Every structure is written in C-alpha cells, then in structure tokens.
C-alpha cells in the first residue's frame, strides 16, 4: 500500500521527516528518489535535526557516505547518484548497523537494497509543492507509515 502526503514548503518537508524520525528504529533504511532539487536533502536535514544532530547536513554527492554519530543514534547519509548496482563501496554493511541509513537516488542501486525498507518517491508539482509517496516494504515499515501518515 502506498501513502501520499503533500508538502507546500520546506517547513512541511522538515515536519514530514521529523514525523518519520519519531518512529525510528536501529537498522532502519529509508530510500529517497526524485528529480534533482525535489527535497531529498531537505528531508535528511529534518530527520537529522529530530535525531539531535547539529551538524550542517549537505548531500554527500562526492563522498558518497557521511556518518553522523552525535545524535540519538547514528545516521548514515548516502548519495549514490554517481554509482550503479555494480559499484562496491560497502553499502550493505550499513544496513546491519545500529543506526539509520538514508539513501538518496536509491533506485540506482535497487538490487542491493534490503527487502525491508521504506521507499519515498518525491514528485515536484511546482516551485514549492511536492508530493511524497511512501512505499513501505515489510511489517515494521507498514506500522511506521500507519503511525505517522
């Protein structure tokens, strides 16, 4: 089952991320997909803020993975835009850690993602409006969506 929620501004996107963070659990995997500039990194900023991470969150486009270890639990922020399913950089190692993994452009490495995860597709409607489409894979992620959406 898919869930949809509309964001009319950056603050809405931050709030959506904070609501998802409120149901976090160790080993959580969130996969973000959408066009350039749709709000993927804004979502990560909101999630990180809710975790208590005060670092400046930027997209790890060139570093691929940024680890934030100073919040309630670790946050592993990945941007796989420059990779494909054949790239080997230890992606799967992060899925078994005690933190949360958020992957931007996750559809590019879809075959390497865990079966249980939360896919979030972000569609641009206009300059300010976005539609977030949540596709939970697995019981924990269904429960999360039912709790906050």
pLDDT band at 20 (very low <50, low <70, confident <90, very high): very high
> What is the structure's pLDDT at 84?
64
Q: How high is the pLDDT of residue 103?
A: 97
Residue 129 has pLDDT above 90, yes or no: yes
Query: Looking at residues 54-78, what average pLDDT do you find?
Result: 93
| Higher pLDDT pick, 50 / 61 | 50
CATH class entry, domain 27-130: alpha beta
Mean pLDDT of 32-42: 96
Residue 63's pLDDT is 83
The predicted pLDDT at position 85 comes to 63
Residue 76, SS3 per DSSP = strand
Using an 8 Å Cβ cutoff, are 98 and 26 in contact?
Answer: yes
Specify the 3-state DSSP secondary structure of 72.
coil
pLDDT confidence band for 96 (50 / 70 / 90)? confident
In the predicted structure, residue 87 carries a pLDDT above the cut 80: no
Prediction pTM value? 0.95
- The secondary element (H helix, E strand) that includes residue 123 is strand 117-124
pLDDT exceeds 90 at position 50? yes
CA distances for 4 relative to 66, 120, 143, angstroms = 28, 10, 15
Structure confidence at residue 39 as a pLDDT band (50, 70, 90): very high
């Amino acid at each position: 089952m898919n869930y949809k929620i509309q964001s009319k501004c950056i603050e809405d996107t931050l709030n959506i991320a904070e609501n998802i963070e409120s149901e976090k659990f160790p080993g959580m995997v969130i996969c973000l997909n959408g066009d350039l500039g749709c709000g993927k990194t804004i979502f990560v900023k909101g999630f990180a803020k809710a975790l208590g991470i005060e670092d400046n969150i930027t997209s790890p486009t060139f570093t691929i993975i940024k680890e934030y270890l100073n919040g309630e639990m670790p946050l592993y922020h990945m941007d796989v835009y420059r990779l494909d399913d054949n790239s080997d950089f230890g992606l799967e190692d992060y899925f078994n850690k005690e933190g949360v993994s958020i992957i931007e452009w996750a559809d590019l490495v879809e075959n390497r993602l865990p079966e249980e995860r939360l896919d979030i597709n972000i569609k641009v409607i206009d300059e300010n409006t976005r539609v977030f489409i949540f596709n939970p894979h697995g019981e924990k992620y269904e429960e999360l969506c039912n709790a906050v959406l």
